[in-house]
Amino acid sequence: MRKYNLIMVAILTIVLLLSFVACNNEGAGEKLPSNVSYAEFEVYCGQSNSFFVEISAGKREQPLNADGLTKNVSDFFEIKLLPFKVSNFNLCYVVVTGESGKIEGEAKISMTDNEFIFTSLNKVKIGNLKSVTIKFGDAEENIELTNMLLNNINWESALEIAKGEFKERLDADTSNSSREIFVKLTRDRRAVSGNYFWYVCYIGQTNDFWSLLIDAKHGTIIAQR
């Protein structure tokens, strides 16, 4: 009986250790507060003579309504290609290469902007992104990607800065304490080396909102509304 008890204790210990590891790895850095409707966990950029490329991954509401309510939040992976010249084609074929795999598909021209977009609503697990190959018309370009969060604060830090700045408003806003929150990295899209900012917006259900623009490198507040 004593031997049986020792075996059970050993098994239980292993199970608890495995559970602890799983809980600490699952969604690490990706656990959203229930009222966050958009957050970018990864952002990569690159450019060639023909395109500026922006790749983002995270979680967002489907569809994104910005109505003060947060629901149906899921994973997303999105590629945006901004051509430097007006194009005469309606789609590009893109192949993104990561450390442990690839994802590929058609990026179609936007109905509203001069850019091509590829979106996946599944969690993409190919490690750190390295490059993207773009096939358009009879041409093909390979672009190296830069991790834009490598030397910048992440979405969680940006949100904490916003919480501190808006603390008095949040404490006083008892009628709308769970405002919808939007956290996005924004930039001068003309160059990878441009300045980067976190845009954090608290959206109310009565079409009112508070917002901050935060320097992504230093965490200082640049502007607010």
> For residue 85, what is the domain's CATH number?
2.60.40
Ranges assigned E (strand) in the chain: 36-47, 51-61, 73-83, 91-98, 101-109, 116-120, 129-136, 139-144, 146-147, 180-187, 196-203, 209-215, 221-224
79 pLDDT band, cuts 50/70/90, is very high
Instruction: Note whether residue 186 is domain-resident.
Output: yes
Residue 67 shares a structural domain with residue 106 = yes
**Average confidence score pLDDT of the chain:** 84
Residue 166 shares a structural domain with residue 133 = no
Burial classification of residue 129, based on how many CB atoms lie within 10 Å of its CB (0-12 exposed, 13-18 middle, 19 or more buried) = buried
Instruction: Note whether residue 115 is domain-resident.
Output: yes
Residue 115 shares a structural domain with residue 167 = no
Owning domain of residue 212 = 155-224
Q: What is the pLDDT of residues 33-59, one digit of tens each?
A: 999 999 999 999 999 999 999 999 999
CB-side neighbour CA atoms (13 Å) of 46: 18
Q: Which region, left, alpha or beta, applies to residue 49 given φ > 0 means left and ψ of -120 to 50 means alpha? A: alpha
Instruction: Note whether residue 15 is domain-resident.
Output: no
Residue 143 shares a structural domain with residue 62 = yes
Residue 190 shares a structural domain with residue 212 = yes
Query: 88 pLDDT exceeds 50?
Result: yes
What pLDDT, on a 0 to 100 scale, did the predictor assign at position 207? 78
What pLDDT, on a 0 to 100 scale, did the predictor assign at position 30? 60
Residue 128 shares a structural domain with residue 197 = no
Q: Of the residues 100, 120, 147, which one is the last residue of a structural domain?
A: 147
Residue 143 shares a structural domain with residue 159 = no
Instruction: Note whether residue 41 is domain-resident.
Output: yes
pLDDT-above-90 percentage for the chain: 63
Instruction: Note whether residue 9 is domain-resident.
Output: no
What pLDDT, on a 0 to 100 scale, did the predictor assign at position 4? 33
Instruction: Note whether residue 183 is domain-resident.
Output: yes
Residue 67 shares a structural domain with residue 126 = yes
32 pLDDT band, cuts 50/70/90, is confident
Residue 137 shares a structural domain with residue 192 = no
CA distance 180 to 160: 15
Instruction: Note whether residue 19 is domain-resident.
Output: no
Instruction: Note whether residue 22 is domain-resident.
Output: no
86 pLDDT band, cuts 50/70/90, is confident
Residue 102 shares a structural domain with residue 163 = no
Residue 139 shares a structural domain with residue 50 = yes
Q: Of the residues 131, 147, 163, which one is the last residue of a structural domain?
A: 147
Report the domain count for the chain.
2
> For residue 216, what is the domain's CATH number?
3.10.450
Q: What is the pLDDT of residues 6-16, one digit of tens each?
A: 333 333 332 32
| Core vs surface per residue 84-94: b (16+ CB within 10 A) or e | eeebeeebbeb
Residue 138 shares a structural domain with residue 200 = no
What pLDDT, on a 0 to 100 scale, did the predictor assign at position 177? 58
Q: What is the pLDDT of residues 111-144, one digit of tens each?
A: 888 899 999 998 999 999 999 999 998 899 999 9
CA distance 220 to 122: 33
What pLDDT, on a 0 to 100 scale, did the predictor assign at position 28? 39
User: To which residue do tokens 């957050």 refer?
Assistant: 39
Query: 87 pLDDT exceeds 50?
Result: yes
Q: What is the pLDDT of residues 197-214, one digit of tens each?
A: 999 999 998 878 999 999
* φ, ψ (nearest 5 deg) of residue 125: -120, 85
Q: Of the residues 122, 147, 172, which one is the last residue of a structural domain?
A: 147
User: Is the distance from CB of 57 to CB of 79 less than 8 angstroms?
Assistant: no
Q: What is the pLDDT of residues 163-193, one digit of tens each?
A: 999 999 888 877 655 899 999 999 866 556 6
Query: 145 pLDDT exceeds 70?
Result: yes
CA distance 88 to 71: 38
